Amino acid sequence: MSRLRVLHAITMLELGGAQRNTLDTVARLDRREFAVALACADAGELLPEARRLAEVQLFELRHLRREIRPWADLRAYFELRKAIRRFCPDLVHTHSSKAGILGRLAARREGVPLVVHSVHGFGFGPHQRPPVRWAFLSAERMAARRTDAFITVSHRNLQDGARLGLFPEERARVIRSGVDLAVFRAHAGGEGVRAELGIPADAPLVVQIACFKPQKAPERFVEVAAGLAAHFPDAHFLLVGDGELRRALERQGREAGLDGRLHLPGWRRDIPAVLDAATVVTLTSRFEGLPRALVEALAAGVPVVAMAVDGVPEVVRDGENGFLVAEGDVKGLVSRVAAILGDPELRRRLAGAADRDLAEFERDTMVRQQEGLYRELARKKGTRGMQPRNRALPVSPIRGTQRGKHG
pLDDT digits (tens, 9 = 90+) for 101-129: 999 999 999 999 999 999 987 766 666 67
Q: What is the pTM of this model?
A: 0.88
Within a domain: 15:
yes
pLDDT of residue 13: 95
Residue 138 has pLDDT above 50, yes or no: yes
Q: Is residue 307 part of a domain?
A: yes
Whether residues 126 and 32 share a domain: the answer is yes
Between residues 401 and 293, which one has the greater pLDDT?
A: 293
Instruction: Examine residue 101 and state whether it is found in any structural domain, yes or no.
Output: yes
Same domain, residue pair 31 and 148: yes
Residue 406 confidence class, pLDDT cut points 50, 70, 90: very low
pLDDT band, residue 144 (cuts 50/70/90):
confident
**Is 369 within the bounds of a domain?**
yes
In a domain, 370, yes or no: yes
Q: What is the mean pLDDT of the chain?
A: 91
CATH number reported for the structural domain that contains residue 242 in this entry? 3.40.50.2000
Both 159 and 220 in one domain: the answer is no
Q: Are residues 261 and 312 in the same domain?
A: yes
Residues 31 and 174 in one domain: yes
How many CB atoms neighbour CB 203 within 10 A? 15
Residues 331 and 256 in one domain: yes
Percent of the chain with pLDDT over 70: 92
289 and 391 in a single domain? The answer is no
Same domain, 165 and 212: no
Residue 24 structural domain: 4-178+362-401
List the one residue out of 335, 362, 339 whose CA is nearest residue 350.
339
Window from 28-42, 229-243, 293-307, 378-392 with minimum mean pLDDT: 378-392
Per-residue pLDDT reduced to its tens digit, 224-273: 999 999 999 999 999 999 999 999 999 999 999 999 999 999 999 999 99
Give yes or no: residues 136 and 285 share one domain.
no
For residues 80-103, give the mean pLDDT: 96
Res. 401 pLDDT band, cuts 50 70 90 = low
Task: Indicate whether 215 and 266 sit together in one domain.
Answer: yes
- Examine residue 407 and state whether it is found in any structural domain, yes or no: no
Between CA 310 and CA 305 the distance in angstroms is 15
In a domain, 406, yes or no: no
Q: What angle is formed at CA 177 by the lines to CA 134 and CA 167, rounded to 5 degrees?
A: 35
Q: Give the whole-angstrom CA distance, residue 93 versus residue 229.
A: 46
Percent with pLDDT over 90 in the chain = 80
For residues 115 and 248, membership in a common domain is answered with no
The vertex-38 CA angle with 99 and 287, nearest 5°, equals 40
Number of domains in the chain: 2
Same-domain check for residues 379 and 353: no
